[in-house]
């Protein structure tokens, strides 16, 4: 009897766990969809910004602008996009592995490394490194960041780049390829990358007010901003997708454990019944 009670308790507890993991799976799925939708929305913004930039490049030498200037790399700044919470499968550890490789490569070349961490997990991980300077940590960053949320990061990197404190800025994030494939990706934010795109007819003869240089300043910042926002949203979609998979596996495992325990419970109950019957018949035989 004691065995069946213990088994029953374990079954209830695993069932509770399954309920929680199942709920987390559903929440992650809906958050993932939203992040994906948001990632698509900024596409128009990026295309227009790029078209205007290409048009400017015809009027003035874009690469002369300080944000496009390539420098000898002595200090590298990384922005690493991690999650605040755990239970997201290999989401954070994949990023950490990549970052560690990059940091070691830098060390071998005597390049100093600085890191801006987004997400609590990243901050926790970086605390272990002694020779890496963590310049900023953003915890509880909004899931769907607006321009206002991104602005502080943008200003920080542009300031340290123009002040020549850092010589290159990379962002390390998880690119969302599909719901089964997410890849850790490193993108260069600064020096800014100039890609020529076809110019729409309207822009061909456009005049610039107050001047092409002023517009160039602004449009370059906007392109970096959209890159940042894109990386953050891709990361969010990946995180939720990986969390969804992890929770799905956990729910499946819990289901299997419940099956095994139920079988054990039934066997134990049957054994108890058989034993009781045997005792009764045994007792009856003895009285005869």
Binding residues for other proteins, rule: CB under 8 A, are: 38, 41-42, 44-45, 48-49, 52, 55, 146-148, 150-151, 200-210, 214-215, 218-219, 222, 225-226, 229
Nearer to other proteins, 20 or 214 (CB): 214
CB of 90 to other proteins, least distance (A): 30
Residue 202 CB, nearest distance to other proteins (Å)?
Answer: 3
Task: Please answer whether residues 177 and 39 qualify as being in contact, where contact means their C-beta atoms are separated by less than 8 angstroms.
Answer: no
Pairs from 31-38 (Cβ < 8 Å, separation ≥ 24):
31/143, 31/236, 31/240, 32/179, 32/237, 32/240, 32/241, 32/244, 34/143, 34/144, 35/143, 35/144, 35/176, 35/233, 35/234, 35/236, 35/237, 35/240, 36/176, 36/233, 36/237, 38/144, 38/233
User: Minimum Å distance from CB 233 to other proteins?
Assistant: 10
> Directed axis angle between helix 212-287 and helix 91-108, to 10°?
130
Is the CB of 117 or the CB of 212 nearer to other proteins? 212
Minimum distance of other proteins from residue 229's CB (angstroms): 6
By C-beta, is 119 or 145 nearer to other proteins?
Answer: 145
Nearer to other proteins, 10 or 151 (CB): 151
Q: How far is the CB of 149 from other proteins (least distance, A)?
A: 10
Question: Nearer to other proteins by C-beta: 163 or 284?
Answer: 163
Cis peptide before 49 (omega within 30 of 0): no
Of 261, 263, 101, residue with least CA distance to 186: 101
H, E, C per residue of 75-126:
EEEEEEECCCCCCCCCHHHHHHHHHHHHHHHHHHCCCEEEEEEECHHHHHHH
Q: How far are the Cα atoms of 29, 71, 145 from residue 42, in angstroms, in the given order?
A: 21, 30, 12
Using the minimum distance from each CB to other proteins, give the nearer residue, 209 or 285: 209
Closest separation between CB of residue 159 and other proteins, Å?
10
Contacts of 179 (CB under 8 A, 6+ apart): 32, 241, 244
Longest dimension (CA), the chain: 116
191 in Cβ contact with 65 (< 8 Å)? no
Nearer to other proteins, 129 or 144 (CB): 144
Structure tokens at 31: 């958050």
Closest separation in Å from C-beta 35 to other proteins: 13
Nearer to other proteins, 210 or 282 (CB): 210
Question: Cβ of residue 13: shortest distance to other proteins, in angstroms?
Answer: 44
């Amino acid at each position: 009897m004691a065995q069946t009670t213990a088994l029953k308790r374990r079954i209830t507890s695993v069932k509770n766990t399954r309920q929680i993991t199942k709920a987390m799976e559903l929440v992650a799925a809906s958050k993932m969809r939203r992040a994906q939708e948001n990632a698509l929305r900024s596409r128009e913004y990026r295309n227009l910004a790029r078209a205007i930039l290409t048009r400017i490049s015809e009027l003035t030498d874009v690469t002369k602008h300080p944000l496009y200037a390539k420098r000898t790399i002595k200090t590298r700044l990384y922005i690493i996009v991690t999650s605040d919470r755990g239970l997201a499968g290999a989401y954070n550890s994949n990023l950490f592995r990549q970052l560690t490789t990059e940091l070691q490569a830098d060390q071998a070349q005597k390049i100093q490394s600085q890191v801006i961490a987004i997400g609590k997990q990243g901050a926790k991980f970086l605390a272990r490194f002694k020779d890496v300077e963590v310049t900023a940590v953003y915890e509880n960053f909004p899931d769907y960041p607006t321009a206002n949320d991104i602005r502080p990061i943008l200003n920080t990197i542009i300031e340290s780049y123009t002040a020549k404190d850092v010589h290159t800025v990379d962002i390390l994030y998880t690119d969302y390829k599909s719901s089964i494939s997410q890849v850790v990706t490193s993108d260069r934010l600064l020096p800014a990358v100039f890609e020529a795109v076809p110019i729409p007819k309207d822009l061909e003869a456009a005049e610039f007010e107050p001047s092409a240089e002023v517009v160039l300043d602004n449009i370059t910042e906007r392109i970096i901003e959209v890159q940042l926002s894109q990386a953050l949203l891709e990361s969010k979609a990946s995180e939720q997708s990986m969390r969804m998979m992890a929770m799905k596996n956990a729910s499946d495992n819990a289901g299997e454990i419940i099956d095994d325990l139920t079988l054990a419970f039934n066997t134990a109950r049957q054994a108890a019944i058989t034993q009781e019957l045997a005792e009764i018949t045994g007792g009856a035989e003895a009285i005869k």
